[in-house]
Structure 1
């Protein structure tokens, strides 16, 4: 009789778990590949000038400082428009707003091919940043409405893995596109802007018709699956101490801590990314095509690191050390490559930095959902990303300036140890603070 009672009481729980697994599996297959494809295209159009610079700077007579300043201007307008964009996403819905973002940034990415002067370059990069603003924080907020807390690092990593994978695609394509030099009267770098700018416009239309705003709007979910997802999100919103409301989120100390951490992270990684083809070409003596293959290989390993670290973080139910350790390894990578430009030492050190930059993203981007909800989550995530994106301006500009002042990129690489170490310190401080709060609640 006892066994029968236990079996009977466990049956609804097992059925509920089966519904949950089915709902999450459907959401993962229907949403994450589409979002990953969109973000991958965004990243390619954001940084493809790192390859274009191999020809563009020569053709247009841009100095490293002009190039670095223009590359970074993207992030100034991006940062300025982050919070308004995320609040407009709440008003118009993710489907329409994300589709609008993709179509406008695709059109402006294509327009980059018409740049001729530094002023035009600055204007084009500024408006490209304005057009893309809100896509990344909007997607993070959107995923919070679909995936329960213990699955978010994996969900984030499965769309964010498109960042290193898009670098793989870009590395493989760049050489071929740059080699179209002179075809139809266009320079190779113009072909690069044209070919990589058109796909987001088409994908934006796909978003408009295929991306449901919430589980309640997903016709491909059964009613019980819709209810399970909505229940999980409601329970998460009600659990623990959360910051709700735009004003409270913007004043939350943890939002600012994560913002400064992201500024350090984005500043260092974009400082390297926008200069990577030039740095690696000088280190190795490879052709443009082979440099592209090398960058592709580094980022392919970065994608694997991102997925594995996110899985381990979810299973361990721990976020902070899964961010701290990669930052310390990144610091070591920049330190070694900054001290020695010997190819056999510097290239592996840079590869280690790239892999660990990718691996920490899933756990890091799951932390805001621990203490933010509702409109507070939309505003807080956007604010965090706004501060972080300023690093995207400072990093490339600093690297270009350091190159012009010293004659090489080695000193610039060495200075990247400072923001990486600072980011590790901020995350450690947040870990200690979170631990004290848990101890106080338990006591």
Structure 2
């Protein structure tokens, strides 16, 4: 995914924006993944030290996504009012504090409360970042930008395991367990990141001191271009009908199935590796980083291919079905090395497809619809983050094998492939309707207002 070459004002401004914005956004998103998945490393220790069962762990891991999903749309509507810089900083400061407070977990109930509070605190982070992408980058660059942003969770999975494993080696220091040190220190780091966001992240191109006036204007103009007609589909004071468009619902449901697989596997990788006779918190954490290696390959490779062969529904369909094949092979082999490699391949597919999801959605949204619609898709999708760990926990309780959840992966992946066929029809229908709206507008109005201006009237 090459950064656009130096050229006219827009190309120069895009390169500057990528170099200045993406490190800050990626830093925040990196810590979000570290903080939401670090309990995977603590799983067996919470069982031994606090008495949290496998089923209770699966439920608690998933409860994060319940409050996260429920508050996505309200959070992003507030973000639209106050601006992404302050809102992303607020989110980071809040979830960092909650992460540190999770060191005081002492039973199932406090574990559930901590996970739900963490989800509530983090709600709105990702759609707020996607909203910024729609304000700063042209549609042709968004799949690349989103792919770079997804490097953050990939690196979170790659580096978060060794980091958490190293912190857990502090066991018994000053009378605290290693997992307590992990929660405390990682939460404090996140709060520092929140202050960095507040200090360095500009709200919009016009606020960036490192852009010239011409460069800022070029970014804003190109970001809005191509979304005008899709913005016209917004029904004033009726965002519910905008959410009900078939392509939005289908992307959300396919994302839901993707998240069942992704989070079900992610929250159980350390215990799967332990079941392969690997011991030691740091070594388990290090090997768990295979998900990060796979994810990094996926978010770099798949968007690059998609830019050259932009077949939307076909790409989503192939990437939806492929995890079923990987899961079947995983269940058929017994070699520890092969199983760890297949977990990495699973991450290539599940993480690599996400930039494509968001590029397809952002091409058809702008303004307040982008703020609320992207949050709505994330809400539907991330409920899979609750279902996945919970189903994996039930499967392990029944079988005693943490890898038994791969049967669930096969089922949900095949369903996702079927929905991709329906998505193809929905996207064609959406684009035909959009073309008709554009033609009607062109013949009845002398000069349509930019989509962002029209959409700004929707929010009361």
TM-score (norm 1): 0.92
The corresponding residue for 1:282 is: 275
Q: Would the alpha carbon gap of residues 84 and 48 (structure 1) be closer, same or farther in structure 2, given more than 3 Å must change? A: same
The corresponding residue for 2:451 is: none
Q: Note if contact 2:291-2:344 (Cα within 8 Å) is conserved in structure 1.
A: yes
Of stretches 105-114 and 376-385 in structure 1, the one that deviates more from structure 2 is 376-385
Question: C-alpha displacement at 1:436, in angstroms?
Answer: 6.1
C-alpha RMSD of matched pairs (Å)? 2.1
The corresponding residue for 1:313 is: 306
Q: Would the alpha carbon gap of residues 344 and 259 (structure 1) be closer, same or farther in structure 2, given more than 3 Å must change? A: same
| Match status 1:302 vs 2:292 | no
| Match status 1:243 vs 2:236 | no
Q: Would the alpha carbon gap of residues 433 and 256 (structure 1) be closer, same or farther in structure 2, given more than 3 Å must change? A: closer
Q: How do residues 64-83 of structure 1 correspond to structure 2 at under 5 angstroms?
A: 64-83=54-73
* Post-superposition CA distance 1:281-326 (Å, at most 9, x none): 2125353322222222442232122112112212333333332222
The corresponding residue for 1:115 is: 105
Q: Would the alpha carbon gap of residues 203 and 344 (structure 1) be closer, same or farther in structure 2, given more than 3 Å must change? A: closer
1:369 & 1:289 partners in 2: Cα distance?
A: 40
Of stretches 123-132 and 348-357 in structure 1, the one that deviates more from structure 2 is 348-357
Q: Note if contact 1:82-1:134 (Cα within 8 Å) is conserved in structure 2.
A: yes
Q: How do residues 9-408 of structure 1 correspond to structure 2 at under 5 angstroms?
A: 17-239=7-229, 243-245=233-235, 246-408=239-401
Q: Would the alpha carbon gap of residues 50 and 143 (structure 1) be closer, same or farther in structure 2, given more than 3 Å must change? A: same
Question: C-alpha displacement at 1:439, in angstroms?
Answer: 7.8
2:286 & 2:40 partners in 1: Cα distance?
A: 15
Question: C-alpha displacement at 1:438, in angstroms?
Answer: 5.9
Q: Would the alpha carbon gap of residues 90 and 442 (structure 1) be closer, same or farther in structure 2, given more than 3 Å must change? A: closer
Q: Note if contact 1:341-1:410 (Cα within 8 Å) is conserved in structure 2.
A: no
Q: Would the alpha carbon gap of residues 243 and 50 (structure 1) be closer, same or farther in structure 2, given more than 3 Å must change? A: farther
1:284 & 1:361 partners in 2: Cα distance?
A: 33
Q: Would the alpha carbon gap of residues 77 and 433 (structure 1) be closer, same or farther in structure 2, given more than 3 Å must change? A: closer
2:226 & 2:264 partners in 1: Cα distance?
A: 37
Of stretches 57-66 and 429-438 in structure 1, the one that deviates more from structure 2 is 429-438
Question: C-alpha displacement at 1:374, in angstroms?
Answer: 1.6
2:434 & 2:364 partners in 1: Cα distance?
A: 15
Bigger share in helix: 1
Q: Note if contact 1:75-1:390 (Cα within 8 Å) is conserved in structure 2.
A: yes
Q: Secondary structure at the match of 2:382?
A: helix
* Post-superposition CA distance 1:349-390 (Å, at most 9, x none): 222111211211111111111222221111111111111111
Q: Would the alpha carbon gap of residues 48 and 437 (structure 1) be closer, same or farther in structure 2, given more than 3 Å must change? A: closer
Q: Secondary structure at the match of 2:233?
A: coil
Question: C-alpha displacement at 1:176, in angstroms?
Answer: 1.4
2:222 & 2:289 partners in 1: Cα distance?
A: 38
1:160 & 1:144 partners in 2: Cα distance?
A: 16
Aligned mate of 1:409, from 384, 402, 421: 402
Q: Would the alpha carbon gap of residues 436 and 176 (structure 1) be closer, same or farther in structure 2, given more than 3 Å must change? A: same
Q: Would the alpha carbon gap of residues 337 and 371 (structure 1) be closer, same or farther in structure 2, given more than 3 Å must change? A: same
**Which runs of 5 or more structure 1 residues have no equivalent in the other structure?**
1-15
Of stretches 403-412 and 266-275 in structure 1, the one that deviates more from structure 2 is 403-412
Q: Note if contact 1:338-1:412 (Cα within 8 Å) is conserved in structure 2.
A: no
Q: Secondary structure at the match of 1:243?
A: coil
Q: Note if contact 2:290-2:340 (Cα within 8 Å) is conserved in structure 1.
A: no
1:355 & 1:287 partners in 2: Cα distance?
A: 26
2:159 & 2:337 partners in 1: Cα distance?
A: 25
Q: Would the alpha carbon gap of residues 212 and 441 (structure 1) be closer, same or farther in structure 2, given more than 3 Å must change? A: closer
TM-score (norm 2): 0.88
Q: Note if contact 1:302-1:358 (Cα within 8 Å) is conserved in structure 2.
A: yes
Q: Secondary structure at the match of 1:141?
A: helix
Q: Note if contact 1:326-1:357 (Cα within 8 Å) is conserved in structure 2.
A: yes
**Which runs of 5 or more structure 2 residues have no equivalent in the other structure?**
1-5, 437-460
